[in-house]
Amino acid sequence: MIEPVQLPSPWRDAHLTVVVPTYNEAGNLPALVERLLALPLPGLRILVADDNSPDGTGDVADKLAIEHPERIEVMHRAGKEGLGRAYVDGMTRALEGGAEFVAQMDADLSHPPEALPGMLGALLSTQAGVVIGSRYVPGGELDENWPLYRRALSGWANLYVHTLLRVRIRDLTAGFKIWRADALKDIGLHRVQSNGYSFQVEMHYLATKLGHTILEVPIRFEERRDGVSKMTTATKVESALMPFRLRSKHRNITG
């Protein structure tokens, strides 16, 4: 586990909301929250967007919110509507709540919370609209326990989308990021239609077309600690078709 960067004031006091979508993550959420709240970021807030998890993740999140009423908020969604919709709803709520910066990360402990202060520092010290915690820039790592087929799928997906969309990002499918609020407002979350993992690519594509600088910093990506992956056949099909749809749908958007 890396040691989090100690940011100077006023950077460390920035209003950062971390949006965490959940579906059957009762075994991981308490550990994630503990690590997030231990960061030297007093302005950090957590917004859990739960899709009515059958394993009781929503109840776990509610108990954590009661324990930390000033720092944790829970959104209860009607059912499993997909990762993209959960992020759009959560990010919209974060912006409405006055967040200066909005982070997105998985609940399965694959993304290291301790990297957030460094990512925030990188964002604040540059003109970037978003900083990505990247697996595929120099210094980035993949857990040796990550299955070979997942490595191959991730590598193929990045190459495929690079070829079709010409977006100059190494980790196009990354789900660990910090956005400036102004960049999200410029993108317009109402524009985002992709669900599943293609949501990440659509956000990167829109940010690029609108002229926002995208910075990648290396992280170590861990295999999930508990539960199972939410990747489905439908998600893979949507992701394969998505680049063609994006080129058509967003062809008139420019920065």
Residue 127 has pLDDT above 60, yes or no: yes
Confirm if 240 and 162 have CB atoms less than 8 A apart. no
Instruction: Name the phi and psi angles at 61, rounded to 5.
Output: -65, -40
pLDDT digits (tens, 9 = 90+) for 186-233: 999 988 888 767 888 889 989 998 999 999 999 998 876 665 555 554
The tokens describing 74, both together, are 């829970």
Measured between alpha carbons, how far is 157 from 130 in angstroms, rounded to an integer? 21
What are the pLDDT digits (tens) for 33-61?
Answer: 999 999 999 999 999 999 999 999 999 99
Strand partners, 46: 18, 72
**Polymer length in residues for the chain:** 255
What pTM was estimated for this model as a whole? Answer: 0.88
Is a pLDDT exceeding 90 seen at residue 76?
yes
pLDDT score, position 203: 92
- Residue 121: the pLDDT is 97
Q: What is the pLDDT of residue 9?
A: 93
